[in-house]
Amino acid sequence: MSDKEIIFYGPSVEKNRTKLQYVHHVMCLSLGVAAGVLSLESFMGFVFYAAGMTATNLGFVAVCCHGKPRQFFRFPLQEVFWDGIQSNIAGYIMMWCLVYALVK
């Protein structure tokens, strides 16, 4: 196949995105619980979230993509790293606040 024409298979793109979202959802909620348990506050909470999600994404790329995310995602940096962090922040904050209030 020529380099100019790369055809992506829609159903596979969709399935991979759904699986990535599942891992992101589970991990953002767990990280929220962890942040609450550690009683993190303000800026530290967000740093913890960014670090936790980045570690999760690195693990995902290493285990699920065998280190080759381009074979499974069209824009790996955006889809795996950036979208994962910014779209799940609400869930993280919810769990963080809830567990923080319960523990304190």
Partner 1 sequence: MLGIALLLHCAYSAYEYNKLPISYNRSDLLLELVISLCLIFYSSVTNIQMPSRLNLDNEIVHSPSPYLNFIHINKSLKESNEFGIDDYSKFSNRLDFIDIVKMRREYNVYASSIEKST
CB hemisphere CA count around 16 (13 angstroms): 20
Question: Which residues inside 56-95 make contact with partner 1, applying CB under 8 A?
Answer: 56, 59-60, 63-66, 71-74
30 contributes a contact to partner 1 by CB under 8 A: yes
Give the closest residue to 22 by CA, choosing from 56, 69, 66: 56
How open is the CA angle 62-74-55, to the nearest 5 degrees?
A: 30
3 contributes a contact to partner 1 by CB under 8 A: no
The least distance separating partner 1 from the CB of residue 89, rounded to whole angstroms, comes to: 17
Give the closest residue to 88 by CA, choosing from 65, 37, 54: 54
Contact 85, 50 (CB under 8 A): yes
- Which of 2, 9, 42, 43 touches partner 1 by CB under 8 A? 9
Residues forming contacts to partner 1 in the complex (CB under 8 A) are: 1, 6-9, 11-13, 15-16, 19, 22-23, 26-27, 30-31, 33-34, 36-39, 52, 56, 59-60, 63-66, 71-74, 99, 102-104
